[in-house]
Chains A and B, each alone.
Chain A
């Protein structure tokens, strides 16, 4: 079913990337997203691509798996490229197909934008591929900590996030189970006219909502029964800690930023 989409999926592992402090990963990715928009020369793009690919290799996640998981995104990337070929009219005319003049500028720009897109998606999906949802929320809670001063409900936000993330797989499983049960009762989710298929969603959604509400109630009760009463005075089982390797990554990444800024034309 949805098994080919990898965005948001965690692949267990023990690589350096897996073990980095999640705050380091989020920070690096945040700045990577910015710096991608600064790249505008062959060298700066190469630097970023090498950085991204080396990271992928270090994670030990099969490259084929990642590429396949990005299938829906490939479509967008190619679409962007073609759009640029048609619309951009800079540089000299290279050749023409179907009456469209293809300019050199268009080719270069199309390629650059697609590359930018690809790098963004690849690097951001690396975050969820190598970090558990719990780590991500812990990191976000830590990083938003200063906002507590202005009464921003940081702990509650993090709790909501981690509960939602925790229940995504459960809900997906439930969806699959219920859709199988209803398919056995003759519901056809895959073929037939659109109207029929929309109607087929009702027997799926109703039980799903019912069970989600039931779960929410049960969870709230279980949390209260075990004495949960908000973030006040609560300690953590796993403390986040910046290690030497994190510092090394920061230094390395600053170097990458410097190179990109230096090599832009």
Chain B
């Protein structure tokens, strides 16, 4: 589903002395099927933004459209539940949403609410549990007996079992161990490709943005600061430093390399291995010229 924000502002506790503008005059377009990273310093409005995507909040002014659903200050979609079944949101620290007696029941909770037939739900659980890296033995356990990382996986499985068209992830890997982080992100990426999802990822990690996203939006104080392809946006060191962000490590390396040796290797989101190969080629050429 296409996602469009048109001059969206959102004010928390409107009409009180506590009123606080979290998003201001934000406009962008996310075509169906893309993988978008939303990056910004803490408090820049990322979580507020994504709550618009399944109608948890409506814009104070401006307009949000997700597929055929339209959200404005006055107008909410009539089929809100349908919208929520098509836009799945994994919140920051989703393990706080667990409540059922068993892991299995908790994963089934979302699909049940959206009236998926029982047999289908069981099939989905079988599919999704290995995907998020959980053992099947855990299905009969209470979610509260699990480790933090396992709880996180159960919560994510609970959203994936809804089989949404749009997957919204708010820092889904914060607090996982490095290996778990990579596995989880790779899993999201595979699903994105295989099932043709539209994925919106909120992250602090420039590395993840470069690796997975085909479009990035940088927020600063609730407004759009930069937007574009990762290789164009995430290489602008000065501009990023101004909003307390840094370029990815690979870019930092290529920049130092250029300074030290006077050789420019353009950043095209290549892997470490590819960068090593470019350097190797360069050294060989230099050697044969001598």
Contact = CB atoms under 8 A, between A and B. Distances in A.
B15 A186 contact: no
Interface in A140-182: 174, 177-178, 180-182
A62 to B, nearest CB: 6
Nearest to A68: B15
A202 interface: yes
A207 B99 contact: yes
B89 interface: yes
Residue among A61, A185, A187, A207 with the most chain B CB within 10 A?
A185
A62 B18 CA distance: 12
Interface string B42-68: 000000000100101000000000000
B244 interface: no
B272 interface: no
Interface in A1-41: 3-4, 11
B97 interface: yes
A233 B13 CA distance: 43
Classify the secondary structure of A's interface with B: helix
A210 B51 CA distance: 24
A187 B97 contact: no
Interface residues on A, range: 20 to 34
Nearest to A187: B113
Given A186-B84, A187-B113, A180 B96 contact: no
Interface in A177-228: 177-178, 180-188, 202-203, 206-207, 210-211
Given A180-B91, A185-B109, A187-B113, A203 B99 contact: yes
Interface in B96-115: 96-99, 109-110, 112-114
A186 B110 contact: yes
Contacts of A182: 97
Scoring A65, A68, A184, A188 by chain B CB atoms within 10 A of each residue's CB, the highest score goes to A184
B281 interface: no
A4 B97 CA distance: 26
A207 B96 contact: yes
Contacts of A11: 17-18
Contacts of B99: 202-203, 206-207, 210
B85 interface: yes
Task: Give 10 closest A-B pairs by Cβ, nearest first.
Answer: A186-B113, A206-B99, A185-B110, A181-B97, A184-B89, A3-B13, A203-B99, A186-B114, A181-B91, A180-B56
Interface of B: 13, 15-18, 51, 54, 56, 81, 84-85, 88-89, 91, 94, 96-99, 109-110, 112-114, 144, 158-159, 162
Given A184-B88, A186-B84, 14 more contacts: A3-B16, A4-B16, A11-B17, A180-B51, A180-B56, A180-B91, A185-B84, A186-B162, A188-B113, A203-B109, A206-B99, A207-B97, A207-B98, A210-B144
Interface of A: 3-4, 11, 61-62, 65, 68, 174, 177-178, 180-188, 202-203, 206-207, 210-211
